[in-house]
Amino acid sequence: MPTASPRLAYLLLTLTPLFWAGNAIVGRALHTEVPPVTFAFWRWTLAALFLLPFTWRRVRADWPSLRAAWPIVLTLAVFGVSCFNALLYTAAQTTTATNIALIQTAMPAFIVLLGLVLFGERISARGALGVTLSMLGAAVIVLHGDPMSLAHRQLVPGDAWMLLAVFCYALYSVLLRKRPAVHPLSLLAAIFVLGALVLLPLYLWEWSVRGAPHLSAGLAGGALYVAVFPSILAFLFWNKGVEIIGSSRAGLFICLVPVFASALAIVFLHESLHLFHLAGLLLIVGGFILFNHPGRAIDS
């Protein structure tokens, strides 16, 4: 079987943060219309319903392997599907999209650290500098080029929830190397279904406490978007990208989330392009080039 090109991984891992940026914006925009666990549950339920008709035969063929590897499949579903998204939508209840974007840029550091702790994967000094530059570029964008603005930010519960969400998805990314040898769509369908089932008890509890949300065109459109783009496509692209170039190198692409979030705000919210956008983008691109320069940035 021919080896997939790193260029394919770079394309897939660039589209993934674009979809995630949209997910953060939708989650914040709808935070007054739908409770967080309810939104997460229906996101993954819809994603599973969309996916299963096209993957059912593959799931049946891969079922023995999926069943034999159920502990890691369930772990991936809990951390990558259930926890990350419920926590992100919970964070959006009390913190801003800017804070969500800023905290999410810590994910590459979490991935590198977990790779070191769990699998002994070491990063070179050059690789560490590349990660630092990219995270610095992302911070420049979300802080609007004013580092002093960080001193005026107040810690709210949503910031802590988002930090926990980032840890969960970093753990998911690192543990992907332990996934069973099944078709990517089979794995995706399995973790979507399991992720929704894990959320089901919390969804029923939240529904009993807060009631069912009022269905609107905006809510329906937002649910469809998050079910398809940040869910099916982003997970499929992310998993394949991690498979090709590894979790530590792939994690660096998380720093593109605030870049795309700013771009989406410019396009849809008519915000202006500022110098700090360009400065942050240059730092991120510089970090990419440094991290992926010929030579070993990751040592196993």
How do residues 182-230 score in pLDDT, each as one tens digit? Answer: 998 999 999 999 999 999 999 999 999 988 788 888 888 999 999 999 9
Q: What is the pLDDT of residue 1?
A: 42
Q: What is the pLDDT of residue 296?
A: 53
Q: What is the pLDDT of residue 82?
A: 95
Greatest extent of the chain over all pairs of C-alpha atoms, in Å: 56
Residue 280 lies in a domain: yes
Terminal CA-CA length for the chain: 24
DSSP 183: -
Residue 1 lies in a domain: no
Residue 77 lies in a domain: yes
pLDDT tens, position by position, 266-289: 777 666 777 887 888 788 778 877
Q: What is the pLDDT of residue 257?
A: 84
- Indicate the number of domains in the chain: 1
Residue 226 lies in a domain: yes
Q: How is residue 177 written in tokens?
A: 């190397």
- CA distances to 58, 81, 189, 191, 235 from 66, rounded to whole Å, are 11, 17, 11, 10, 18
Q: What is the pLDDT of residue 294?
A: 57
pLDDT, block means (10 residues), the chain with 300 residues: 75 93 86 90 93 92 96 96 93 81 79 85 80 80 72 72 91 93 92 96 92 84 92 90 84 82 74 78 79 57
Q: What is the pLDDT of residue 300?
A: 45
Residue ranges making up the domain that contains 273: 6-299
Cβ atoms of 19 and 229 closer than 8 Å: yes
Residue 186 has a CB neighbour count (10 Å cut-off) of: 22
